[in-house]
Amino acid sequence: MAVTTKTQEKKINQLLSDLNSANPGKVTVVLDSLQVYGDSSIIFPLFDFLKTNDDEKSKAEVLEFLCNLKDTNSMTKVMECLKDENFSTVRIEILTAIWNCPINFSEFLHEFVKIAVENDYLHCLECLTIIENLDGPFDEKSVFESQLFLKDYHENKYPKTNEKDLLISEIALLIRDFDLDTDDSIGAEYE
């Protein structure tokens, strides 16, 4: 099994090297191969590609690939990229990939609320879209942390605009509903 892992690692490294070559024509072929040979180790290099590459067509192909992630092992890597300041210039693209991919990111509810309150309108809009599409279940701690971030926002600890206020209000309503659902599920356990 170690040979297979070593072979796979070598193949992934070669594919990532090909992706970063100056030839935009290779992107489709590389992504098709990564679909077969890739694992969660490709997440950082793919978001780095979005950050450093200037070819819009190639970037669109990579983003589409990231929007179609299905391996739940990649979830943690995506969230690490989202929180990493080195990827702040592609944070919108990371959020776009999250709300488009079929993986359930519900356990990170509080992270999306935090990004929504700390950043600008566009980040907030992307986070609202993600939160609206989360399947749950929601951890009581994550809901509580989300409420704390919203409280901090309303106490003017983060930049505010009228447009952003509307989005934050929508997020607050969703969090309230999640909290009610969490309370209902806890009550059901004791009946």
Q: Where are the domains of the chain?
A: 1-103, 105-191
H helices of 38-161, in order, are 43-52, 56-67, 74-83, 91-100, 109-118, 121-133, 140-154
| CA proximity to 111, closest of 129, 131, 96 | 131
Token representation of residue 101: 């991919």
The C-alpha atoms of residue 3 and residue 137 are separated, in whole angstroms, by: 39
Contacts of 155 (CB under 8 A, 6+ apart): none
The C-alpha atoms of residue 103 and residue 125 are separated, in whole angstroms, by: 20
- 160: helix, coil or strand? coil
Q: What is the pLDDT along the chain (191 residues), one digit of tens a residue?
A: 344 588 888 999 999 998 888 677 889 999 999 998 889 999 999 999 999 999 999 999 999 999 999 989 999 999 999 999 999 999 999 999 999 999 999 999 999 999 999 999 999 999 999 999 999 999 999 999 999 999 999 999 998 999 999 999 999 999 999 988 765 554 444 34
The C-alpha atoms of residue 171 and residue 124 are separated, in whole angstroms, by: 9
**pTM listed for this prediction:** 0.88
- Please say whether the beta carbons of 159 and 122 come within 8 A: no
pLDDT of residue 4: 53
- 183: helix, coil or strand? helix
The conformational region for residue 38 under phi > 0 = left, psi -120 to 50 = alpha, else beta, is: beta
The sign one gets for the Cα dihedral 26, 31, 37, 43 is positive
